[in-house]
Amino acid sequence: MTLHQRHNYPGKLVVVEGVDGSGKSTQLNLLRNWLEDRGQKVIFTQWNSSKLISKTIKDAKRNNSLIPVTFSLLHATDFADRLENIIKPALKAGLTVLADRYCYTAFARDAARGVDKDWLRNLYGFAIKPDAAFYFQVPIEVSLERIASSREPGFYESGMDIGLSNDPRQSFQIFQSRVISEYDGMVQEYGLNLMAATAPIHEQQVLFRQKVGHLFLQR
């Protein structure tokens, strides 16, 4: 199984991707409610949330002691653990798995930190192809505005760890622009569904439901 080959499990794997402030989590939560209302059994899994490793990642971030490759490996470990213990068992049991971020997040963020793209793609060579992956695309200004309205951009979120600029706002702009550019390239490479994340929330959700709904009609 790879990212380029359909899995054979009875369940469905739906993935959302995009920079912080793209609204992807909001959309996924609305979708979740809709699916549950329609009687679908849904499992939700988030980037960086495995019991095995998420504390280690948090500690390491606090100490700012790691280089990008080590972070990549930590995130891949988290992903492998969730894939094996959450995602695959749910798919085997015929459930719908909603993933808030998938390995495309690593491909975008880690590459933006200068990690080799081919190395990253091999690293996640054990991943399974989602039934549908949605990329919520926003211009960098919108992302920054949405985040800044509620909080300061984080140290890692702004790529401050790789020394792009001492100004958090400027660093965010440079770093997240790189992330967006990596995502944009993956639309073609992995057949991501492009979502215009500047459209009204309701409009996006209607489209999102249509596209996900199709997955259940295919059988």
Tell me how many residues contact a second copy (CB under 8 A).
24
> From the CB of 11, what's the least distance to a second copy, in Å?
19
74 scored as a contact of a second copy (CB under 8 A): yes
> From the CB of 80, what's the least distance to a second copy, in Å?
4
Contacts of 30 (CB under 8 A, 6+ apart): 201, 205, 208
> From the CB of 52, what's the least distance to a second copy, in Å?
6
Q: What is the 3-state secondary structure (H, E, C) of 171-207?
A: HHHHHHHHHHHHHHHHHHHHCCEEEECCCCHHHHHHH
Point out which span in 17-25, 68-76, 143-151, 209-217 binds a second copy (CB under 8 A): 68-76
67 scored as a contact of a second copy (CB under 8 A): yes
- Binding positions for a second copy, 13-52, rule CB under 8 A: 52
Angle (CA) 204-188-181 rounded to 5° is 75
Residue 12, strand partner residues: 96
Alpha carbons 80 and 50: distance in angstroms, whole number: 9
Alpha carbons 157 and 104: distance in angstroms, whole number: 16
Tell me whether residue 31 or residue 111 sits nearer to a second copy (CB atom): 111
Point out which span in 39-47, 78-86, 183-191, 198-206 binds a second copy (CB under 8 A): 78-86
> From the CB of 50, what's the least distance to a second copy, in Å?
9
Left if phi > 0, otherwise alpha if psi is -120 to 50, otherwise beta: which for 112?
alpha
Interacting residue ranges for a second copy, rule: CB under 8 A: 52-53, 56, 60, 65-67, 69-70, 73-74, 76-77, 80-81, 84-85, 116, 118-119, 122-123, 125-126
